[in-house]
Amino acid sequence: MVKVGVVGASGYTGLELVKMLTSHPGFELTYLATTQGDTLIESLHPSLEGVITMPVEKADVNGVLNACDLVFLALPHKASMGFAKGLLENGLKVVDLSADYRLQLDTYEENYCPHEDKEHLDEAVYALIEYYREELKGTDLAAGPGCYPTATLLGILPFIPYLDTSAPLFVDAKSGVSGAGKKLSETTHFVTVNDNIFAYNPLKHRHAPEISEKIEKVHGVKMHVNFVPHLIPATRGELVSVYATLKADIDPLMVLKEHYANDPFIRIRDKPVDIKSTAGTHFCDIYAAKNGNALFVSSAIDNLLRGASSQALAAANLMCGYEEGMGIPVIAYVP
């Protein structure tokens, strides 16, 4: 059994990790921590009452090193890299759910802050499973993609060779409120979100450069990405629609089916996708259609699972020699 911990166990993604790890056949959950500590996990998350009882420590590098072989960091950016550095220097395997290791240095510092662990940045493997599966098997540092980039990239990457890459991509993205995390803000208040939908940071959101960077990494072409996220009155789920310009006459669904033929957690749909069908699962559902040279691609994921925690667990599975789907839920939750 591989001993694992979760630092940042108080958040939504931390909860999802704990829920999966409690019954994982290859991982033993040995350490839980937050910035405060001094509580029990079932006190932080009452849904875990009767499922697991375990102390939550104050996050400490030595505590992790003494208790774990691998740790998940469900921390905000900047906090994560400061913590990860000491772990990596001592040979621990790290799966980071923040933005701190998922971007190139110049992209990161332009959109976030000065990087504090440049020496390990180049060692990180971007944990978009279908594209970096083999690389993840040999790394000690996995960098979880953002939820919006996950849904966008899984949808559009198969089509890049068939696109007019001089034309921009337009990405219309919608996410449940849990994607904003637990911290309350004016835009996530019930009175604001209920019976409402609105865009935020249109054309300026920092997931746009992440999408652009990874398209270039996979296909070697630069594309301008116009990205507009929206908040919808739902707890979880994410729907992304991408609009692009084709340079070739293709059958979009056939392209998807051939490209993902050997990927068990990608489902190609024959009609437009929805968020309820992927809620509570690791699946990404994708649909595509064209009208002349106009391409429409739509993908749906659970933002907390495929967009964060279950993708992190799949990466950890691969890093430890397990099947990528071990311990990951596949049955959709329908409220």
Claim to verify: residue 214 and residue 107 sit in the same structural domain: no
Claim to verify: residue 252 and residue 214 sit in the same structural domain: yes
For residue 195, what pLDDT band results from cuts at 50, 70 and 90? confident
pLDDT at 184 over 70: no
Claim to verify: residue 187 and residue 227 sit in the same structural domain: yes
Claim to verify: residue 158 and residue 283 sit in the same structural domain: yes
pLDDT at 182 over 80: no
Q: Considering its fold, how many domains does the chain have in total?
A: 2
In a domain, 219, yes or no: yes
Claim to verify: residue 40 and residue 164 sit in the same structural domain: no
C-alpha span between 29 and 27 (Å, rounded)? 6
Name the residue among 69, 86, 72 with its Cα closest to residue 11: 72
Per-residue pLDDT tens over the stretch 44-87:
999 999 999 999 999 999 999 999 999 999 998 889 999 999 99
Claim to verify: residue 108 and residue 158 sit in the same structural domain: no
In a domain, 310, yes or no: no
Percent of the chain exceeding pLDDT 90 equals 87
DSSP class of 192: H
CATH code at position 73? 3.40.50.720
For residue 89, what pLDDT band results from cuts at 50, 70 and 90? very high
Claim to verify: residue 154 and residue 239 sit in the same structural domain: yes
CATH code at position 276? 3.30.360.10
C-alpha span between 24 and 328 (Å, rounded)? 8
Per-residue pLDDT tens over the stretch 212-263:
999 999 999 999 999 999 999 998 999 999 999 999 999 999 999 999 999 9
Strand 294-301 with 238-245, pairing: antiparallel
Claim to verify: residue 22 and residue 84 sit in the same structural domain: yes
Claim to verify: residue 175 and residue 103 sit in the same structural domain: no
Residues marked as catalytic: 147
In a domain, 324, yes or no: no
Answering whether pTM is above 0.75, one says yes
* Domain range enclosing 9: 2-123
In a domain, 128, yes or no: no
Claim to verify: residue 153 and residue 119 sit in the same structural domain: no
Long-range contacts of 32-41 (CB under 8 A, 24+ apart): 32/5, 32/6, 32/56, 32/57, 33/5, 33/6, 33/7, 33/8, 33/9, 33/57, 33/58, 33/59, 33/60, 33/63, 33/64, 34/7, 34/8, 34/9, 34/10, 34/58, 34/59, 35/59, 35/79, 41/9
